[in-house]
Amino acid sequence: MKLNLSGIKILLQNHFGEEIITKEDHQSLGILPERIADVCLFLHENETLYFDSLSCLTAIDNGVEKGTMEVIYNLYSIPFDLKIMLKIEFPRNQENEAIPQVPSVSHIWKTADWHEREAFDLMGIHFTNHPDLRRILLPEDWEGHPLRKDYEAQEYYHGIKVKY
């Protein structure tokens, strides 16, 4: 029997408790941010699910007004042909506030290594326990994170005009 989103939700709540799911829509489950690595490990290791592939990990900046960011995880189980989208939402750092931190899932899926580095580089999200969290697309000395809604590009980078 192939599980659907509701069945996976029930499995997660039975294992982690009701509070693990923060919200739900027709295609995704919201997960407590601090528990995302635990949930992902469970989904990977559970023999009735075996989500063996992290198809995509991406980040969204909901803007200064809303004050939150999100990381979205698209998981796929090749042997069981199951798909699930997990979302976490967490406070966005404002001026003089701590950088947003999310547990890394790179110890579960190797593909998360580069996905998390890209989210770090372009959005400024710190993935705790990541083995090599550094910029992947931009130079190490680049200022800011270009996909944030409040990003203002520097005028020049090493004498090269950035804005055009």
> Residues 111-140: what's their mean pLDDT?
96
Q: Write down the domain spans for the chain.
A: 5-161
The two tokens of residue 83 are 């798909």
> Residues 39-60: what's their mean pLDDT?
97
What is the predicted pLDDT for the residue at 23? 92
Is the Cβ–Cβ distance between 101 and 126 less than 8 Å?
yes
- Homologous superfamily of 5-161 in CATH? NADH:ubiquinone oxidoreductase Nqo5 subunit (3.30.460.80)
Rounded distance, CA 47 to CA 162, Å?
A: 50
> Residues 46-58: what's their mean pLDDT?
96
Instruction: Tell me what the pLDDT averaged over the chain comes to.
Output: 94
Residue 163 has pLDDT above 90, yes or no: no
End-to-end alpha-carbon separation of the chain, Å? 56
Confidence of residue 96 (pLDDT cuts 50, 70, 90): low
Rounded distance, CA 99 to CA 92, Å?
A: 8
Please state at what angle helix 5-16 crosses helix 36-45, rounded to 10 degrees: 110
Count of residues for the chain?
A: 164
